[in-house]
Homo-oligomer: A and B are copies of this chain.
Amino acid sequence: MDATIPDSHADLLDKPAFAHMACHLKDGSILCNPVWFTHRGGLLVVNSAVGRLKDRALRRNPTVTLCISDPDNPYRYLEIRGRVETITTEGAETEIDQLASHYLGVDRYPHRRQGEMRVSYRIRPERVVAFPKG
């Protein structure tokens, strides 16, 4: 299985673009909504808060798919199926500020909720589909 992001679509990792992230819920249904992401050392990185629906889902089942569509051309996308390899709160507060800088152009993430603890997921790509091909 090909887990490499082709050069033709590598720009989608840095654009910034949103990823639609899908993961398994306890009842057999699928959670799917837009998330910020970044990448580091070949892994995709997503940030949430401890205890949220997404956090509970990913701790239960690390299988995840991210679809990154080009905001400038909805017919161009990367679909990355993979697995959450690491879940950590270490560095997750700094990371959400970096994501806010990338996506919103602000120094500090403005939507923190009282008492929430940020958490970071590192996702290993296992299967990559790039559309259109080449």
A interface list, Cβ under 8 A from B: 18, 20, 22-24, 28-34, 63-67, 69, 71, 74-75, 77, 79, 81, 126-127, 129, 131
Q: Is the CB of A127 within 8 A of B29?
A: yes
Q: Look across to chain B and name the residue whose beta carbon is closest to the beta carbon of A22.
A: B22
State the copy count for this chain: 2
- Residue of B20, B22, B77, B81 touching A69 (CB-CB under 8 A): B20
On whether the beta carbons of A33 and B63 are closer than 8 Å, the reply is no
Residues of B within 8 Å of A32, CB to CB, are 20, 22, 32, 65-67, 79
B29 and A67 contacting across the interface, CB-CB below 8 Å:
no
Of listed A20, A79, A126, residue having the most chain B CB within 10 A: A20
